[in-house]
Structure 1
């Protein structure tokens, strides 16, 4: 009966200092379990006592904060019975979750054979995958494991298509290991084709008004199977809450381009806030309250559809503010992926194979936001100011970073005009160090809104219009443009007018 919870095992990584790793398991109700951490030669590093609680028959302890490194053995003892885990290391533990673009394995990405061959060079990046399971009630432990804690090999990283192990998760962990130089533990809990509602607790769904009509997730008419609200939270996230985590990586959203698209600006911030509260509480405060949360903004899908749900969802992923971190999504970071399209992917264009750039952009955000590296540039340029030259029919945008123009796409920018009342292309006529000049031919005197890369498939591979000098793409946006008078230091002029750029638009 004595044992550790399902997601502890040989070769695992536990969270290093400054927080303590939570360890729990099962035992005889009422008995005392002794937990011993030992180093080389069996030298006892730490000993903890834990009482087994009834009727659940579980025990929990928090290890003292440990410096990075290993290997250690971790033993749970009860009477004459002992269970020992070997080759345990301390480092940073990241949870990776989402749908099929997170599930895609290293076998499925570009340069797969080289990536798989390189796996043996990273024995201190350890991997674990929960099995895809669902439940109508919150579970205490995982019902199934797809991959127990393992040292990476070509076989377990390239096991098959959409099985284990996640390419985005693996590459993020590998890049972080290369930057940080200490062990990284990666926990995958993902399921293809699933909406955010399935990964959300009932608390989070209620915060967005999603359960008010039905009162029951199982009766909701829009869902079935693993798409049912809360069933993946119940079975694949709730059991992990006792873990001490360093951060989360999330790649999900494609399913919500077909369902509750315009609620994502609520459901995503609600999920982030709820996961943070839950992990912090269940880990006895060891997982930090503002748990770093990285996500991949949606890539592309060649549906030949006039529906702009992909563009709307990309915007909603930022809580309608364009860039993160922001007031509604503090402590978050985003990998823009709209320029990593893959029309000829054998897995469908919604599954682009360039996951290296996705993970690279994610790890830049992790290093800046989660690890506080001040000199890391982790996001592309964003507009900060707009000047309308009415008589010339030009709109001058100032950006936050130095610009590189890769493509003068005539449809990259669009404006919504007072006359005619529709979106019109605003071709790029000039690009300066930090400025872009747009032509407003055919537009009336008043620009009501402006948007950039607002399309399901906004550009060819790595060929969107604007990047920064580090090669990061300018993210998509949609902004209201309100006149606020003349330029600073100059009287208001009918020929030149500054526009106030406000997040969101009523013209989308």
Structure 2
């Protein structure tokens, strides 16, 4: 028995030893795991660091951890603080690379392929987001030749939070420009970066932090909005946890919002679907494409409308893969060729560019069917877009006579007093600053590039305060009061107005014009780069080029460079004339594509504007109208879409819209 007990005790002792060994190992492993140095998303392989300035490096580790960083002949030793945060600063470095960074602590990190050059923080809404893939048909040569390994892009994934400032960005990585990967680059920021690289031959890093449809106040910090009561008060509201919870998780209304009963889509309900080649159409109506169905006999319909067209395909296209361009559609579509679904998009803005697989097309008669769903506004096909079938050798225009039939009618939406608008943090004050700007402020940059304003056109007067507030806020956060800030003025958009009228888009452009009074700012005028029927115009190169010109002057010190079109300076009344003077005249004023100046309007004290006669007189423009004998005010290009605005300087840059009646 004793011996047995001894053996048993020995086994228990051995088991306890193993147990304690395992526990010790797991404890040490946990400590090592939590002790490992962690870096922010931006400090990673392929990054571009800002030249000629002190560089911040930062991250997280276990409290008290010793960290050594070796980079480009500099060594930095840091101890993490009690919260596990660490930060160090390295001396300024000249442009160059690629380099490698070694970070040693309880773990070892190597960051590879680092360049030192100029870093630009590019931000705004959808026109800053839109990538090169979206404009590839417009710029095929630029994409094919985009072999620039020293141009790098870091696209920030969307995240929003109205309460907390985040320490780090969502997951992302640095990508070099090549014909494949450049398709993911923002188009405006790529052309801007390419121009800067070709001009100065230093690496260019783009941090693209932008979200479609977002207002400027969402990109501004709580500190930056303190002086604007409307948004400061809103932020105070959002600090109330109970209130915010109600917004994020609204109670179900006592009487729910009801959409009218939806009957089944007749086009999908029968034995033969309306997109099938064997389906025989009956009682279909004529439709001219492109166009909206509200303008062609279908009034006030929200629902599903089917469109079909038979086209003749030559034998040389038969069996080959091809592309079908169906313009832009409001709102959603499903598109079929010979009964085969070739694509669908669920909202109105993207261009419809669908690939038709091999063996779908046949010689002779071919059927195209488009099922369009719309829930509000005018549904249909946006005019002045690309509508064609092509194999890059043969192109068939698909515009013209089509047939349509209504497949489904949506009943009217029944609103109740209890209906609560959905809450979206990305549209709230500071909601994007907290997540997509704050985590970047330790990262040294050359300056900012901003393309936004569309989402603020509903309250345009606010932009006079909001844009300077954003500039001041970001400069304060980066702790450099004169960091260059470049921005695109809103392009032309919407229907042409053939009489002088008011315009909220023009008011935002005016606010952007006035912001040039803020030091170290530059503006790219874009009233000739838009499209009347698309809030996302494809001409991104002119905008990027003009922003790069602004950078040359504002950020790179090219003081003699003409970087802008004519900018209104002053107006003087001389009898029945008003004399307008400009800055940024360059080599002189000129009329582009015409024999006389357009888009000048004049008014007397009553501010009833009429189109004016305007002539160039040296570096001035003289504005008159016989019927206005005592003129007081002038406007130029004051419209949503000032078609025909043609005052330029001889450097080929357009004049900014302006008015004198608000001076």
Give the TM bin, normalised by the shorter chain.
0.7 to 0.9
**What is the aligned partner in structure 2 of residue 196 from structure 1?**
216
Aligned pair 1:34/2:68, yes or no? Answer: yes
Residue aligning to 2:99: 72
Aligned to 2:177: 152
Match of 2:80 in 1: 52
Asked if 1:235 corresponds to 2:470, the answer is: no
Task: Give the structure 2 partner of residue 448 of structure 1.
Answer: 632
Unaligned runs of 5+ in 2: 1-35, 248-420
Contact kept, 8 Å, 2:121 with 2:448, in 1: the verdict is: yes
The correspondence for 1:466, drawn from 618, 624, 647, is: 647
Cα distance change, pair 276–223 in 1 and its aligned pair in 2 (3 A): farther
Structure 1 unmatched runs, 5+: 39-44, 159-163, 281-287, 481-503
CA distance in 2, matches of 1:239, 1:412: 45
2:22 is the alignment partner of 1:2? no
TM-aligned CA distance change 1:217 to 1:477, over 3 Å: farther
**Structure 1 position 307, deviation (Å):** 5.4
Shift of 1:223: 6.5
Give runs of aligned pairs for residues 208-247 of structure 1, distance below 5 A.
208-214=228-234, 215-217=236-238, 224-247=424-447
Shift of 1:113: 2.1
Count matched residues: 440
Give the Cα–Cα distance (whole angstroms) in 1 for the partners of residues 597 and 566 of structure 2.
Answer: 19
Q: Secondary structure at the match of 2:492?
A: coil
Given that residues 472 and 481 in structure 2 are in contact (C-alpha distance below 8 angstroms), is that contact kept between their aligned partners in structure 1? no
Match of 1:21 among 38, 48, 55: 55
- Check whether the contact 1:410–1:425 (CA below 8 A) recurs between aligned residues: no
Q: Distance in 1 between matches of 2:595 and 2:167?
A: 53
SS of the aligned residue for 1:265 comes to helix
Deviations 1:36-78 (A, max 9, x none): 115xxxxxx11101121232x2211111111110111111111
Question: Alignment partner for residue 332 of structure 1, among 521, 530, 533?
Answer: 521
Question: In 2, are the aligned partners of 1:204 and 1:267 still within 8 Å (CA)?
Answer: no
| Max Rg structure | 2
Alignment CA distance shift 1:382-1:426 (3 Å) = same
Task: Give the deviation of 1:389 after TM superposition.
Answer: 4.3
Matching residue within 559, 569, 580 for 1:397: 580
Task: Give the Å deviation of 1:151.
Answer: 1.4
> Equivalents in 2 of 1:112, 1:411: separation in Å?
30
User: Residue 526 of structure 2 aligns to a residue in which SS?
Assistant: coil
Residues 1:223 and 1:179: Cα distance change in structure 2 (over 3 Å): farther
- Alignment partner, residue 206 of structure 1: 226
After superposition, give the CA deviation of every residue in 1:155-188 in whole Å (9 maximum; x if it has no partner).
Answer: 3321xxxxx4211111111111111111111111
Across the aligned residues of Structure 1 and Structure 2, the Cα RMSD in angstroms comes to 2.2
Are the aligned partners of 2:70 and 2:103 in contact in 1 as well (CA < 8 Å)?
yes
Contact 1:208 1:263 in 2 (8 A): no
Counterpart in the other structure of 2:608: 422
- CA deviation map 1:335-367 (0-9, x unaligned): 000111224xxxx52111111111111111111
Deviations 1:288-330 (A, max 9, x none): 3211000000012215686511000011123x36xx2x2xx11
1:109-120 to 2 correspondences below 5 Å: 109=135, 111-120=138-147
CA distance in 2, matches of 1:217, 1:455: 37
Of 379-388 and 243-252, the range deviating more from structure 2: 379-388
Counterpart secondary structure, 2:455: helix
- The equivalent residue for 1:492 is none
Contact 2:607-2:633 within 8 A present in 1 as well = no
Q: Which residue of 1 aligns with 2:6?
A: none
Asked whether the equivalents of residues 25 and 60 of structure 1 are also in contact (C-alpha less than 8 Å), the reply is: yes
**Equivalence map 1:201-350=2 (5 Å):** 201-214=221-234, 215-217=236-238, 224-258=424-458, 260-280=459-479, 288-303=480-495, 308-318=503-513, 320=514, 324=516, 326=517, 329-343=518-532, 349-350=534-535
Q: Residues 531 and 537 of structure 2 are in contact (CA less than 8 Å); yes or no, is this contact kept in structure 1?
A: yes
Pair 239,31 (structure 1): closer, same or farther in 2 beyond 3 Å: same
Deviation at 1:409, TM superposition (A): 6.4
Tell me the residue number matched to 1:490. none
Per-residue CA shift, 1:430-454, capped at 9, x if unaligned? 3233232222222242x33221111
Contact 1:24 1:60 survives alignment (8 Å): yes
Query: CA separation of 1:411/1:7 partners in 2, compared to 1, >3 Å: closer, same or farther?
Result: same
Pick one of 178, 190, 195 that aligns with 1:170.
Answer: 190
2:624 paired residue number? 439
Q: Aligned-pair distance for 1:115?
A: 1.9
- Seen in structure 2, the aligned counterparts of structure 1 residues 307 and 108 have a Cα distance that, compared at 3 Å, is farther
Q: CA shift at 1:386, angstroms?
A: 4.1
Q: Does 1:380 align with 2:565?
A: yes
The residue that corresponds to 1:493 in the other structure is: none
CA distance in 2, matches of 1:197, 1:16: 31
What do residues 360-399 of structure 1 show as CA deviations (whole Å, max 9, x unaligned)?
1111111101111122111112344545443xx4333344
SS across alignment from 2:119: strand
> Is residue 129 of structure 1 aligned with residue 315 of structure 2?
no
CA contact (8 A) 1:95 1:245 kept: yes
Q: 1:303 to 1:133 in 2, by over 3 A?
A: farther
From 132, 142, 145, give the equivalent of 1:106.
132
Q: How far is 1:415 from its partner?
A: 2.1
